Amino acid sequence: MGRQTLQANPNTNRDPNKRRTQSPSIPLIPQETKQLQLSKEVIWVATEMCLAHNVLILNLNAIYLQCEQVTQPKDVADFLIFCQASIEEMRTHHEMEEKSFFPWIAEYTGEKDIMTANLEQHHAFEGALKKLEEYLYAATPKVYDGKRVKKLLEDFAVELVPHLNDEIPTLLALEKYGGKQLGVVYERFNKQILSSVKNKVRALLPNPPPLLIFCNL
Cα distance between residue 113 and residue 165, in whole Å: 19
Q: Considering the complex, what minimum distance in angstroms separates the CB of residue 27 from Fe ion?
A: 17
Of 80 and 129, which has the nearer Cβ to Fe ion? 129
Q: Considering the complex, what minimum distance in angstroms separates the CB of residue 117 from Fe ion?
A: 13
Cα distance between residue 58 and residue 49, in whole Å: 14
Residue number, nearest CB to Fe ion: 167
Of 77 and 197, which has the nearer Cβ to Fe ion? 197
Cα distance between residue 179 and residue 25, in whole Å: 34
Of 76 and 163, which has the nearer Cβ to Fe ion? 163
Q: Considering the complex, what minimum distance in angstroms separates the CB of residue 118 from Fe ion?
A: 8
Taking CB under 5 A as the criterion, which residues in 156-175 touch Fe ion? 167
Secondary-structure percent of the chain, ordered helix, strand, coil, rounded to 5: 70, 0, 30
Cα distance between residue 182 and residue 176, in whole Å: 10
Q: Considering the complex, what minimum distance in angstroms separates the CB of residue 217 from Fe ion?
A: 8
Cα distance between residue 103 and residue 111, in whole Å: 10
Of 50 and 128, which has the nearer Cβ to Fe ion? 50
Q: Which residues bind Fe ion (CB under 5 A)?
A: 167
